[in-house]
Amino acid sequence: MNSLIDSSSPRTAQAHDTVSETATIRKAQLRTTRIRSAHRFAGLTLAFFIGLHLMNHLCALVSIEQHIKIMDVLRLIYRNPLGEALLLLAIMVQVPSGILLVRRKGWRGLPLAERAQVASGGYLAFFLVAHVFAVMMGRYFFHVDTNFYFASAVLFSPVWLFYVVYYGLSVVSVFVHVASIHYQKMLSRTSSHRAQTQALAIVGTGIAVMVLILLAFSGVVYEIRLPAAYKWW
């Protein structure tokens, strides 16, 4: 009898360990699924804003007045208390959830498309925090209208080259992030060649949008006379 109990008890303990291990893995998977859903939902909210935001910046190709006119209309959406709260909440969800997902996914051994997704997402997380902080400082500390001139001024400052890279990477990162997600989704639906071509077309569009926005904001398309309030150097 004793020997029976002795031989079954390690096995029972082992079975117990396996059950609790499975439960821990399930819990971790459930948590990852929840984080991924939150990241996707916040991402879609942000994508809506970023789409409008970049379209707005492309309007600067026409004229400064056109850019400001469109921004005034868009502000009705993202500057009303509900829109602004939703936008800031989306950023507060997007950045930490992205960091958590990357920590779980790791970097080593990832295919190129996933590395591109992680790298562009990492830059966007940094940029979103720095950029929104700068806009809030402009609005509430320096008390300037954060319009076309606010963004353009830095491209005339002594550190203009830094801002060319900083702004340029932000626009390209948005498109690289979308392209890498699109590529991974399309792999199960079409040939890898077609998925790659589509992803490269998205990145190409991003580079074109980046160049056009930088040309308009840096005074290449027309002369920009900065009001004194925006010259901080």
Residues within the interface to ligand HEM (CB under 6 A): 50, 53, 57, 71, 75, 78-79, 84, 87, 124, 127-128, 131-132, 135, 146, 150-151, 167, 170-171, 174, 213, 217
Q: Answer yes or no: are the C-beta atoms of 216 and 60 closer than 8 Å.
A: yes
- To ligand HEM, the closest distance from the beta carbon of 83 in angstroms equals 8
- To ligand HEM, the closest distance from the beta carbon of 156 in angstroms equals 13
Distance between CA 99 and CA 198 in Å, rounded?
27
For residues 43 and 183, which CB has a smaller minimum distance to ligand HEM in the complex? 43
For residues 48 and 187, which CB has a smaller minimum distance to ligand HEM in the complex? 48
For residues 68 and 187, which CB has a smaller minimum distance to ligand HEM in the complex? 68
How remote is the C-alpha of 142 from its chain's centroid? 26
- To ligand HEM, the closest distance from the beta carbon of 24 in angstroms equals 36
**If we measure between CA atoms, which residue out of 90, 104, 78 comes closest to residue 40?**
90
Q: Is 142 helix (H, G, I), strand (E, B) or coil?
A: coil
For residues 71 and 195, which CB has a smaller minimum distance to ligand HEM in the complex? 71
Distance between CA 197 and CA 205 in Å, rounded?
12
- To ligand HEM, the closest distance from the beta carbon of 47 in angstroms equals 9
**CA angle in degrees (0–180, nearest 5) for 97-48-79:** 95
For residues 174 and 202, which CB has a smaller minimum distance to ligand HEM in the complex? 174
Q: Where are the alpha helices (DSSP H) in 106-147?
A: 112-140
Eight-class DSSP state of 11: H
- Residue 151's region, left for phi above 0, alpha for psi from -120 to 50, else beta, is alpha
- To ligand HEM, the closest distance from the beta carbon of 43 in angstroms equals 11
Q: Answer yes or no: are the C-beta atoms of 227 and 149 closer than 8 Å.
A: yes
Distance between CA 231 and CA 154 in Å, rounded?
8
- To ligand HEM, the closest distance from the beta carbon of 25 in angstroms equals 34
For residues 91 and 113, which CB has a smaller minimum distance to ligand HEM in the complex? 91
